[in-house]
């Protein structure tokens, strides 16, 4: 009787352990991963644009993803340096490299289109004549956006710069500001330039690798693999064509850290950047 009773307790104990173990496994598999995006849209519009992408990843991988939208570039830059819970991020080359070098992020995929920026105007300006806009109004997204950083390369002298305005909440907003006559020119991603053939391109900057989706070291390898595989075939889903078009991506291709190395130097002139 004692032996039988002891055996019964043993079986019950083992069953309890199995239940606890199963619950723990389910909790691990249901872990939520934050997905942060560069604030090239205001918060409300960003959710409209990126929620379908996040939903796609959840369906394709079986994991749960939460979209994280910063209020603006100042908050985003602060989050890059201080937040430890941004598991997946989608941003331009200089931010990507900064995350790789400082925090061990792993780039998974990138846009197949390299990044460059174009200066557009309604005025009849000679191609390449960027000095035409010294002391003139020029609108772009705020620092430390890559376009803003590239623009400063053309105007290294603080006394010989445009009247830079960076209150727009999206790249398309900057174009509308020019159309409304509230600014003389705008600097926008080159992928957007061809959508406005009635604006005159003055310059196109040098290229960087396309914006990348990277994973923090806290993301398990199997989750990184699942996310990568899902993103590499994203362009095959016709229901998400508008999502890709809105963020200027034709398709995602494999990315590696080496191609971004050195891009973080574009941040060196901005507050908060420290040389290592």
pLDDT at 18: 44
Please name the fold of domain 31-114+210-267. D-Maltodextrin-Binding Protein; domain 2 (3.40.190)
Averaged in consecutive runs of 10 residues, what is the pLDDT profile of the chain (276 residues)? Answer: 43 44 43 95 95 95 97 96 97 98 98 97 96 96 96 93 90 95 96 93 97 98 98 93 89 98 97 88
H/E stretch holding 10 reads: helix 2-29
pLDDT for 30: 56
Q: What is the pLDDT of residue 31?
A: 80
Contact 41, 170 (CB under 8 A): yes
- In this prediction, residue 243 carries a pLDDT of 86
Q: What is the pLDDT of residue 29?
A: 53
Alpha helices in 183-251 (DSSP H): 190-193, 221-232, 241-246
Q: Which pLDDT score is estimated for 187? A: 96
Give domain 117-204's CATH superfamily: Periplasmic binding protein-like II (3.40.190.10)
Residues of the chain with CATH 3.40.190.10: 31-114+210-267, 117-204
Vertex 100, ends 211 and 64: CA angle to 5°? 70
């Amino acid at each position: 009787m004692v032996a039988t009773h002891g055996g019964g307790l043993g079986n019950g104990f083992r069953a309890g352990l199995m239940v606890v173990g199963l619950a723990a496994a389910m909790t691990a598999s249901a872990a939520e991963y934050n997905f942060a995006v560069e604030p090239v849209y205001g918060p409300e519009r960003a959710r409209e644009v990126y929620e379908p992408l996040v939903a796609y990843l959840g369906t394709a991988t079986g994991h749960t993803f939460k979209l994280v939208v910063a209020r603006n570039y100042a908050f985003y830059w602060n989050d890059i340096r201080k937040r430890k819970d941004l598991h997946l991020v989608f941003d331009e080359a200089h931010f990507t490299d900064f995350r790789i070098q400082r925090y061990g992020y792993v780039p998974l995929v990138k846009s197949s289109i390299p990044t460059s920026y174009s200066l557009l105007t309604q005025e009849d300006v000679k191609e390449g004549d960027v000095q035409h806009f010294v002391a003139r109004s020029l609108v772009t997204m705020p620092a430390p956006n890559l376009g803003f950083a590239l623009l400063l390369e053309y105007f290294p002298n603080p006394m010989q710069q445009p009247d830079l305005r960076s209150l727009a909440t999206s790249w398309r907003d900057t174009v509308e500001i020019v159309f409304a006559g509230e600014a003389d020119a705008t600097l926008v991603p080159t992928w957007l330039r061809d959508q406005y053939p009635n604006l005159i391109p003055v310059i196109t900057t040098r290229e960087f690798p396309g914006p990348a989706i990277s994973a923090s070291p806290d993301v398990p390898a199997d989750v990184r693999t699942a996310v990568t595989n899902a993103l590499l075939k994203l362009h095959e889903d016709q229901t998400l064509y508008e999502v890709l078009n809105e963020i200027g991506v034709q398709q995602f291709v494999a990315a590696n850290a080496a191609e971004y190395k050195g891009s973080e130097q574009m941040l060196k002139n901005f507050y908060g950047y420290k040389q290592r």
